[in-house]
Structure 1
């Protein structure tokens, strides 16, 4: 399977669990994303890889129109059910690819993308597409898990994410995001780093990881170097991983 088929397969069967996932539904990053946006209420917003629809849902009551886009039909249906149940009628739902957006140039005031780019095989093309569909001086609000600059930490985090979820492509370093945004015509105005605690059981179960793989992955984490376990605040009890800590960033960039 190619990586985009992997994404559709994984998220097709996990759609409802993403709508109800606490880390997606209640994350403080969602409030921060809304705070960082500048708007009058007349804007058109595109939410790329909308997933459970939480970002689109948060912005819908504040803006004129929101377009929620996702590659996975089942995910889009789950997002629509969730958003419509909250009474928001100004949201359109469109199936589409983040790296080949089905929109004309310069049509959106704001583009958001939350906890998704680590699934994109060509993230540079995604950034170029965001730039293309934004109006001049349009805002790009990016929110995703990142890896530390140290290569050992990078390898560890991307290894365990790929193990848990074969549709994971890569979590990027903060420096890599800065580079990609700036070389593709954006000016980065704000960066906020925050920590995320992952509860091992629910983290694995969200991707329907089989029990034997869960155990193998737990062993891999426990057998990692002390340096890695300290960095990721790995919590272990009764020979089982209980939780670990990752990091994410929100970046606000303007099209130039």
Structure 2
């Protein structure tokens, strides 16, 4: 099945749970994303793959206009309900593909994308499109899960994410993000790394993983090499995975 159909199917089922998900709603990364933006109040912002709408919602009171874009109609409806419920009227909602943005060149002052690019099958095309729709010196604020540089750790993390969520494409290495941005006309201005603890039960539940698959995935994690379990701080109690730790980065890049 086409990965984009997978994304729409998976997130269509999970839309409301993403609005209420603590890791999406309350993450400290969201505050950091807002802090990194240089804002006068007159900017127009595009939030790509808005999901539950948390990033668009956080920026809406600070800017002239926000456009929230998502591939999945159900997700966009859930985001609109959430954002309108908070009284923000300067947000437009648009269905669209991150790799084929339905906008003219050079129209946005800021583009944000939070906890989403690991679903994009052609992430390089996505970066090119962000560069295209930004004004000169426009700000790109990127926030996503990444993998360590070591291949064994890369393989483990992408395996468990794909297992739990078939719409996952790839979490990239930090070095891969730096290269993609710089070869596509961006200067990386600031980068922050932070750790994310995934509570196994809620992490699986958010993607409606069956009990059988949840148990098989738990076995895979428990039987991984010790160095992998140590790297990802896997917590196990009574032969059950309780949590593990991943990492993410926030990047601020400027169009040059």
With the shorter chain as reference, the TM-score category is over 0.9
Q: SS state of the match for residue 244, structure 1? A: strand
Query: How far does residue 147 in structure 1 lie from its aligned partner after superposition?
Result: 0.1
Query: How far does residue 42 in structure 1 lie from its aligned partner after superposition?
Result: 0.2
2: CA distance, partners of 1:41 / 1:223: 52
2: CA distance, partners of 1:80 / 1:238: 42
TM-score normalised by structure 2 residue count: 1.00
Q: SS state of the match for residue 216, structure 1? A: helix
Query: How far does residue 225 in structure 1 lie from its aligned partner after superposition?
Result: 0.3
Matched residue, 1:149: 149
Query: How far does residue 133 in structure 1 lie from its aligned partner after superposition?
Result: 0.1
Q: SS state of the match for residue 40, structure 1? A: coil
Alignment of 1:6-25 (within 5 A): 6-25=6-25
Matched residue, 2:85: 85
Matched residue, 2:55: 55
2: CA distance, partners of 1:152 / 1:21: 29
2: CA distance, partners of 1:78 / 1:189: 33
Matched residue, 1:126: 126
1: CA distance, partners of 2:189 / 2:130: 16
Deviations 1:194-244 (A, max 9, x none): 000000000000000000000000000000000000000000000000000
Query: How far does residue 89 in structure 1 lie from its aligned partner after superposition?
Result: 0.1
* Alignment: residue pair count: 256
Matched residue, 2:64: 64
2: CA distance, partners of 1:213 / 1:3: 20
Matched residue, 1:33: 33
2: CA distance, partners of 1:118 / 1:243: 21
Matched residue, 1:226: 226
TM-score normalised by structure 1 residue count: 1.00
Name structure 2 gaps, 5 residues minimum.
Answer: none
Name structure 1 gaps, 5 residues minimum.
Answer: none
Q: SS state of the match for residue 143, structure 1? A: strand
2: CA distance, partners of 1:71 / 1:145: 20
1: CA distance, partners of 2:218 / 2:32: 32
